[in-house]
Chains A and B, each alone.
Chain A
Amino acid sequence: MLSTSARPRLAGKARLRFDRKSTRYMLLYPEKGLVLNPTGADILKLCTGEHTVAAIVEQLAAKYSKAAAEVEPEVVAFLQTMADRGLVQDVP
């Protein structure tokens, strides 16, 4: 499981791209692409290897005016799904 002290970053094969047609961000990787909802895009934009999961949670909570405790399970679950798909990695 991804811990809150992990510093996730996008995998080398994955790239964010803003899509004019859907006005959403897409995460592109070989042969595939995911259309992200605004929250997903906000989280992945912070996956640079600099921010801990805890810091990402704080930023999301601030942006959406919610409690960190409320946001954390969603952020962790989303990042875990991305990690399982090899799209996000933990910087050691």
Chain B
Amino acid sequence: MTEALRPYTLIAELTYRCPLRCVYCSNPLDYARHDAELETADWLRVFREAEDLGVVQLNLTGGEPLVRDDLETLITAARELDLYTNLITSGIPLRRERLERFRALGLDNVQVSVQDVRAAESDRIAGHRAFERKLEVARWVKELGFPLTLNVVLHRENLDRVADVIALAERLGADRLELANTQYLGWALLNRAALLPTREQLDGARAIAADARQRLRGRMEVLFVVPDYYRDVPPACMDGWGRRFLLVSPDGLALPCHAAHTLPGLRFDNVKDRPLAEIWEQGAGFNAFRGEAWMPEPCRSCDRRTVDFGGCRCQAFQLTGRADATDPVCTLSPDHGLIDGARAAAATPSQTSVHYRMARPSASGQP
């Protein structure tokens, strides 16, 4: 294995359970089928094996990681391995005493999400009355001395309030603000018509974020992630397939990203069946899109192939039906018209309803 293929970050999706039902949830559409969760001992072994492989960062996420009652044990083990341990949470359900315990156990950072700056709008996106409680949790995070990351997912309903989002982050004393535009995969793709902003909205918000980044330099890190749909070339999704990130799903699949197991024809190993190092180095799924041999034209002869690695495989599959297609976000993709069409639709307002994340399968039995 070359140094380039060292995993630095383990994304531990501890559960797909979550009290929220956000319309852009990054869990797969069929998450409810993956209901057999890894046990505490499995996770402890995964952490050890990941650290041995080179992982230094651990994201405890889900679903909602707080619904696992072994989080204290997992944090303890992670810190014994000297992993930089980040809890990524909605803040629901949490009591202050539990957060105090996390602090004592050495948890490094807490990331709290809110869906908007207004309670009604935030709760509507989350499908759950949670906004005021989330703010309270964010205040506890700071009071207990943790660094606070505030994460707000952006879309056409809240992009025009980015200045208010930044003001909220300042009031809370956030150390890092993630203004992360929705990426249109899974649930968000299902809700794209309701969520995709116009270019004008995006440009306006981006300018406000850029000003804030300058003004708050050294105090608050302000990150603004553009939706792929308004790029002309794709970003390096996950820094490239199986290069830097290792994700383990609630039921134990070792994956290069959140949705890789929804791609057809790929085989991913379960951490219960094989050592993690073997999966990372030799697993069929991990090797499927490493390197350049899999690339179609125009990627294969493109100068950017070592920069963007062909873009997002899940986006390519979900839009074209082919996991090995060039990411349609790229203007050189033969399928780029799909993106132009979505942008044009976003510029033409229409009435749309939204699909909340839910466990019930549709009539056809397909998600």
Contact = CB atoms under 8 A, between A and B. Distances in A.
Interface of A: 11-13, 15, 17, 19, 21, 26, 28-31, 33, 83-86
A85 B218 contact: yes
A13 B8 contact: no
A26 B41 CA distance: 28
B109 interface: yes
A80 to B, nearest CB: 10
Given A13-B147, A28-B56, A84-B218, 19 more contacts: A12-B145, A12-B147, A17-B56, A17-B84, A21-B6, A21-B54, A28-B108, A29-B109, A30-B108, A30-B149, A30-B176, A31-B9, A31-B57, A31-B59, A33-B8, A33-B57, A83-B218, A85-B221, A86-B217
Nearest to A28: B84
B82 interface: yes
Given A13-B109, A15-B108, A30 B218 contact: no
Contacts of B111: 30
Contact of B57 (A28, A85, A86): A28
Contacts of B59: 31
Interface in B1-45: 3, 6, 8-9
A84 B8 CA distance: 24
A33 B82 CA distance: 14
Interface in B53-85: 54, 56-57, 59, 82, 84
B335 interface: no
Nearest to A12: B147
B84 A33 contact: yes
B357 to A, nearest CB: 24
B219 interface: yes
A26 B84 CA distance: 11
Interface of B: 3, 6, 8-9, 54, 56-57, 59, 82, 84, 86, 108-109, 111, 145-147, 149, 175-176, 217-221
A30 B6 CA distance: 19
Contacts of B9: 31
Contacts of A83: 218
Given A12-B175, A17-B56, A30 B8 contact: no
Contact of B84 (A12, A21, A29, A86): A29
9 contacts: A11-B147, A15-B108, A17-B84, A28-B56, A28-B84, A30-B147, A31-B86, A85-B221, A86-B221
Nearest to B8: A33
Given A30-B147, A30-B149, A84 B217 contact: yes
Contacts of B54: 21
Given A19-B56, A86-B220, A30 B86 contact: yes
Contacts of B218: 83-86
A15 B6 CA distance: 20
B326 to A, nearest CB: 27
Contacts of A12: 145-147, 175
Contacts of B108: 13, 15, 28, 30
Contacts of A17: 56, 82, 84
A52 B8 CA distance: 33
A78 B221 CA distance: 18
A40 to B, nearest CB: 16
